[in-house]
Every structure is written in C-alpha cells, then in structure tokens.
Amino acid sequence: MSGKSVKTETVTHEEAGARLDRWIKRRMQVTQGEVEKLLRTGQIRVDGGRAKSNTRLEAGQAVRLPPQRRKADAKPGDDFPGGRFSGGDQAFMRDMVLYEDEDLFVLNKPPGFAVQGGTNTYRHVDGMLGYLRGDSEHRPKLVHRLDKDTSGVLAIAKHPAEAARLGELFRGRSLDKVYWAVTIRVPQPRSGQVRCWMARGTGEEGMEDRERMYRSKQGRDFAKHAISDYAVVSTAGQKAAWVALKPITGRTHQLRFHMAELDTAILGDDKYTTRREVPQGVAPGLHLHARALTLPRARGKPITITAPLPWHMKETFETLGFLESEAGRDPLDPFL
C-alpha cells in the first residue's frame, strides 16, 4: 500500500513498550539510517513532539508518519534471507507449537535447528516466525534463546507489549525453567547447586576460544555469575545419569558448563567434554532438553508447558532404562 499524505497512527495496547524505531519499520520501507534522519528532521513526531529512536511508546500515543511508501502487507516469509521458504516450512513451524493464546506461542524446538542466524545459518526460528503471524500486524518476537543443539520449550511473544513483559520475567528470574540432561557418570553429590563466575574466552593461554565459556573470577572483564540447581532423577549404574536442571541465572552455555564443572559432562556435548568413558549404545547428539517452562500470565493463573523428549533422548532413555515417570508429575518434583 502506498500513501502521498501525512498519516497519524495511534499506538495500540499491544504495542505499548515497543521502541519507536522498530514500530516505524513495521509500517514503512525504511532503513535504520532513514528512521534516524526522519526523527532528526522532525518528520516523525510522537504526540506532536520530537522523539528519539529508542523512545518507548505508550498505548494511545499518536505518531505522525511522513508521506512515504508504506510496507505492503508482508507475506509470511518475506523477512527470511533469500526468500528460501518452501510450502512445508509453514507446516513445520505450526507443528512446533505446544501452546498458543492471544499473547504468545510456546514452541518445541527440535535439536539442530538454530534459534537465530549466523555464519552459514540461513534457516532458523527467528527468520521463520513470519509463518506464525497469521492476520496480526505484529511479527512474533523471540524473548529468550536455546542453543542450536538444545531442544525443547521456546517462548515467542505475539506483540511488543508481551515481548516486554516476558523479557522482564526472564531477566528478573520470575519464572521456572526445568531442563533434562543425560550426563556421563553421576554428579556428586546427587543434588545441589553450582555457583561460579564464567566468561567467554578469557584470553589466557589455551583459553582463547570465543565460542565457549571458561571459569573466571569476580571483577574480571565480562565475568558473569552463574547459578544452577540440579537433581539426579535416575542412574544407569555409575556410567550415566538422568539429571533435572533448573537455571537460576541465564548465562550462555550455563548448564553445559556447570555439568562439566562437576566432571559429568552432558552426553554428546562437543564443547564441554570429559575424558570419562561414554556409555555404549546411546544415540548421537547433545542430550539437553528444555523440558518445562512455568509462566506467570498477564491475565489468569500461571501456566506450565512441557515439551516431549526428542527422538535421540528417547532412544537413550530406553537404552539406559530410564522411565519418564520417575521424574514425577510436576516438573519441579525432583527439586522438592
């Protein structure tokens, strides 16, 4: 759709909390640089006044848009690099949906499927969220991450107000996340909490790999404190364990790093390894699964969403004799 006159649009309740520059780019075919120029020259105004690109909008505010060509109604995959969508991709995304309401989706992300793009990664959750858009004017938005090879629950906000709310919940530790992992050998003690400072690639000799985390010290550049609760659910003798994990903080590779710190690396982890013998007959792949997420709701009672195990962990559970019923009915049972 195009327009040759100044337009004024009202910020909806669902858009409350959105950054002004992102709100504009959902409506106009403009780059970030063009947005900055339009704001700097006063061609875009909020409630009649000038505003900055990082201004957080409030419901009911009036935004003046200049007479430029607006975005045509987007097709589901228009934001994907190269337009490489196929007819099966929409079904693929819909099949991942575990839960949906007016504010959010919760997906069951398969292992090996990246959450965001990177070098030579063109097919990923973020790039395909357009397929979950439906008739909404808002593109769904990621509010947290999972490693590429980690499977399980992934929350997606349907509109900016929910993205802001969920983002605050994840940052403020106001929700419960439970992961399941299979470890090589059995953590000792069998339940407890791991606390340490960690940093990505310390720059020390032999520790320059920026793709992984290392133990660090308080006060060092970029060091972050990481805390995880863990509880062994079941064991296969002393050769392997099924461990429930509850991250208290949300650091990169935190659970993988913490299990390696206990000298019980997660099965299939190629970054945080152990010299201990790997059990025979287990499936390939990282055995870390985001099992459950309990979310306070904007309206109503909190909800708990659980994700079924991926095929490779099911195969390993069968090989090692683990029964899912051993974990109890509530995802938090192992920590009680």
Q: Which residues are catalytic?
A: 147
| Buried-exposed string 198-229: b where 16+ CB fall within 10 A, e elsewhere | bbbebeeeeeeeeebbbebeeeeeebbebbbb
- CA-CA distance, 34 to 92, in Å (whole number)? 35
- CA-CA distance, 184 to 264, in Å (whole number)? 5
Per the DSSP assignment, residues forming a β-bridge with 227 are 195
Is residue 320 within a helix (H) or strand (E), and if so which, with residue range? helix 311-320
The pairing of strands 151-157 and 288-295 is parallel
| Two tokens, residue 335 | 């920590």
Per the DSSP assignment, residues forming a β-bridge with 199 are 214
- CA-CA distance, 116 to 10, in Å (whole number)? 31
Per the DSSP assignment, residues forming a β-bridge with 290 are 152, 179
Q: Say whether the peptide bond before residue 284 is cis (omega within 30 degrees of 0).
A: no
User: Phi-psi bin for 15: left (phi > 0), alpha (psi -120 to 50), beta?
Assistant: alpha
* Torsion angles phi and psi, residue 180, rounded to 5: -115, 140
| Buried-exposed string 112-128: b where 16+ CB fall within 10 A, e elsewhere | ebbbeeeeeeebbbbbb
Is residue 192 within a helix (H) or strand (E), and if so which, with residue range? strand 191-200
User: Phi-psi bin for 310: left (phi > 0), alpha (psi -120 to 50), beta?
Assistant: beta
Q: Quick check: 194 and 260 in contact, CB under 8 A?
A: no
